[in-house]
Amino acid sequence: MVLTSRGEHVSDPEKLSSIAIEKAVGNRLVIGTSGFGSVGYPKTMPKYLAEEAASKGVKVSILTGASAYAMDGIFAEKRVAIRRYPYQNNPVMRKLINEGIVEFMDYHLGEWPFLIRYGWLDEVVEGIDLAIVEAAQVLNDGFVPTGSVGAITAFVEKARHVIVEVNRDVSEEMNGIHDIYIPQPGEPIPLRNVEDRIGSPIVKLPKGKLLGVVESSGIDVGGKPVEPGNVEKAIAENLLQFFQKEVGKGRLPENLYPLESGVGAVNDAVFKAVGEAGFKGLKAWTEVIQDSLLNMYLEGKMDALSATSLMLSPRNLERVYQEAEEIKRSIVLRPQDITNNIELIRRLRVIAINTAVEVDILGNVNSTHILGKNMINGIGGSGDFSRGAFLSIFITPSIRKDGKISTVVPLVTHVDTVDHDVDVIVTDQGYCDLRGLSLRERARLIIEKCSHPIYKDQLWKYYENAVKSGGHSPFDLEKAYSFHLNYIRNGDMRE
């Protein structure tokens, strides 16, 4: 039974936004919303809330599961946002963050719901006033999420009030694809296989919290399908060579172990190439299902997929609706504290494949910052997966901006993943298996196998000078950021 048909709750978004703003404490409103991978975020209430907040001088702190592109833009453009956690990808919001106008802190997405539940942010945001969630269907005791789960359960649990948006453009066939399970402190999560279901198909709504139900519309569109270019094809070929070597040595089975794919065009293109390489019986335990993964499933190359978000093109989303009964048998959407749970990642022996902004010759990875200071989007789940993975792999082109930037540098300007959690680096030039190597051995291998030829001599020169100064780590304090300083001064990292 759908609550909106009963007329028992406020359904006017303008009136609801006024009620919500009136409940703000000290001209500060803290909202937690659905949304992950810019999928499943609220479409109606943000506009009304931002306008009402701007007119009343109320400032808004925004918490999501991860990115919510259009919603972030609304609050940023109205200049009412003062805080944003834990991951974003909107250029206007990003600009305000890098200017220090919006306070931002990056968090591992697997830990994020835990931090909410245990009140770790309460000293700063003083609790969550309002949860706004998107639903495909609202029932008497809860609701069916749309294309993502994210941190919905934590926000609904901790918020003082809840508003549900029923998106009429989302098929009710989504009912049954979700597996909502809330981890209990100190208790093991009873999940053994990618396709296992251990929870409920709906998110339960605590009694007395529902402030209103409104209608919304809008189809979430993932990244556009990407045809692999020469660089992506080279990265994929090098990754496949590594997999084939591991299978040949008996360290990986022929169908590999469950795969995790970071978000982005490079990862999507690489997985498309993996799907064309002849591997069958694959499974994915990941954050986001992009087109490449779904296509592999529909083509019979992938047996099961588990994620927290469907980040698909409109064509593939329509296929999910049309083939829902079949898809629900093998594709599961879960809360992010399950998909990104380190213990599960390790127990399922996940192979994590994430994208780096830059890597250094010691094996450290920067995934989030430009020149050490400007935030791009956030670490997302790459930290969760790299720390727990059976194999932690980072991929990146060897150069960017027509060779003006080398992605292999003496020292990264911001460390997101430390060398201890990086097993393999893959570029279009080759791959480096870093397992068992000392820092000096790592440096020599990364320079030789992964750096671009136009930077190789420059990297060797740095390494040789660093070794002369002695020490376990090949490190030159005066020259560690020479590549980046060259770029700041000359617009090119080359000497």
In a domain, 444, yes or no: yes
In a domain, 446, yes or no: yes
Q: Give the residue from 435, 434, 441 showing the smallest Cα distance to 474.
A: 441
Same domain, 175 and 237: no
Same domain, 35 and 145: yes
Find the catalytic residue in 52, 260, 287, 358: 287
**Maximal CA-CA distance, the chain:** 78
Query: In angstroms, rounded to a whole number, what is the distance separating the alpha carbons of residues 145 and 130?
Result: 17
Number of domains in the chain: 2
Same domain, 212 and 342: no
Same domain, 269 and 382: yes
In a domain, 21, yes or no: yes
In a domain, 197, yes or no: yes
Same domain, 210 and 239: no
Enumerate residues 6+ apart whose C-beta is below 8 A from 99. Answer: none
Whole-number pLDDT of residue 192: 96
Residue 47 has pLDDT above 60, yes or no: yes
Same domain, 324 and 463: yes
Q: What CATH number did the domain enclosing 370 receive?
A: 3.40.1080.10
Owning domain of residue 175: 3-216
Same domain, 202 and 273: no
Quick: pLDDT tens for 286-324: 999 998 899 999 999 999 999 999 999 888 998 999 898
The pLDDT-based confidence of 5 (bands split at 50, 70, 90) is very low
Same domain, 352 and 418: yes
What would the two tokens of residue 462 be?
């740095």
Our measurement of the distance from residue 201's CA atom to the centroid of its chain's CA atoms, rounded to an integer in Å, reads 23
Whole-number pLDDT of residue 8: 52
Cα–Cα separations (whole angstroms), residue 359 to 260, 368, 380, 390, 413: 20, 12, 17, 20, 10
Give the end of a domain, one of 216, 239, 257.
216
Mean pLDDT of 117-134: 92
Give the end of a domain, one of 194, 216, 238.
216
157 is catalytic: no
In a domain, 223, yes or no: no
In a domain, 28, yes or no: yes
Same domain, 257 and 379: yes
Mean pLDDT of 7-32: 85
Quick: pLDDT tens for 435-460: 999 999 999 999 999 999 999 999 99
Mean pLDDT of 148-159: 97
Residue 2 has pLDDT above 90, yes or no: no
In a domain, 222, yes or no: no
Mean pLDDT of 179-207: 95
Mean pLDDT of 274-280: 82
Single-letter code of the amino acid located at 345:
I
Residue 201 has pLDDT above 50, yes or no: yes
What would the two tokens of residue 360 be?
């250094």
Same domain, 134 and 171: yes
In a domain, 423, yes or no: yes
Same domain, 42 and 142: yes
Same domain, 173 and 319: no
Residue 469 has pLDDT above 60, yes or no: yes
Quick: pLDDT tens for 339-370: 999 999 999 999 999 999 999 999 999 999 99
Greater confidence (275 vs 33) lies with: 33
